[in-house]
Amino acid sequence: MPLLMLTCFAPDLHPDQPTYTLSEEESKHAVRVLRLAPGAPVLLVDGHGTLASTTVQDANPKRCTLAITSHEFIVPRATYTHVAVAPTKNLDRMEWLVEKAVEVGLERLSFLRCARSERRDLKLERLEKIAVSALKQSGQAYLPQLDELIDFDKFIAEIDPSTTFIAHLEAGERTALAQVIGAAPRCCVLIGPEGDFSPSEIALALGRGVRPVTLGSSRLRTETAALAAVFTAQVVREL
């Protein structure tokens, strides 16, 4: 299916339905902003792998109805990238991370409350909207899972240490993420706050069997490090 036409988010799309009515927000954008008329092509994506080619049937700015002409299911990738990051005080930087990580192809993003975290609470509503917008813009078929903020020690207790890596800045032996990620079809990379993980948090992770990694010689901002982890995982696996 072509991905250059207008793409709209349809979270409740079903393969057997002949028509689909866009939400009021999507309808307003399609009809009032883009001025789509009956017969105009629209691509629907549900964020779970289903795409549908449609044409505008009723260009109502509040309830735009589309006639579905065909469906396609995109098989999920065999790899799965999960990044857990301590959100920055400036929420704009987390919004940037969500947008870019969705474009690159992240499967899951968790938010950690660490000892040195500047942000102690986080509301996902705005980030979820940004994720949907990035999904539509980039032509991705799957919407990443965004998790509520969770305490670091609780998160560590729940993960699979055999597929988890911690990118910390403390002295000690660390392996480049690119060298170990290719052998791990599923991976979770932990990214700390601006002041890094605390020594006790690093010790807790290592004690659970989480492996220490480095993202390079540069000292990266939190959101840059998180995106670098996503990009590294995608590029290494594609090569």
* Domains in the chain with CATH codes: 6-73 (2.40.240.20), 80-238 (3.40.1280.10)
Average pLDDT of the residues of the chain = 93
Tell me: pLDDT of 2 over 80.
Answer: no
Which is it for the CA torsion 53, 75, 137, 88, positive or negative? positive
Classify residue 47 as left (phi > 0), alpha (psi -120 to 50) or beta.
left
| DSSP string for 192-211 | --TT---HHHHHHHHHTTPE
Q: State pLDDT tens for residues 53-80.
A: 999 999 999 999 999 999 999 999 889 9
> How many Å apart are CA 209 and CA 232, to the nearest integer?
22
User: What pLDDT does residue 239 have?
Assistant: 67
Strands 50-58 and 41-45: antiparallel
- Tokens 């866009």 locate to 22
Mapped onto helix, strand or coil, the DSSP state of residue 144 is coil
Average of per-residue pLDDT across 181-208: 92
pLDDT band at 181 (very low <50, low <70, confident <90, very high): confident
> How buried is 15 (Cβ within 10 angstroms: 0-12 exposed, 13-18 middle, 19+ buried)?
exposed
User: Cα separation of 230 and 223, whole Å?
Assistant: 11
Quick: pLDDT tens for 125-174. 999 999 999 999 998 999 999 999 999 999 999 999 999 999 998 888 89
Q: How far apart are CA 106 and CA 37, in angstroms?
A: 34
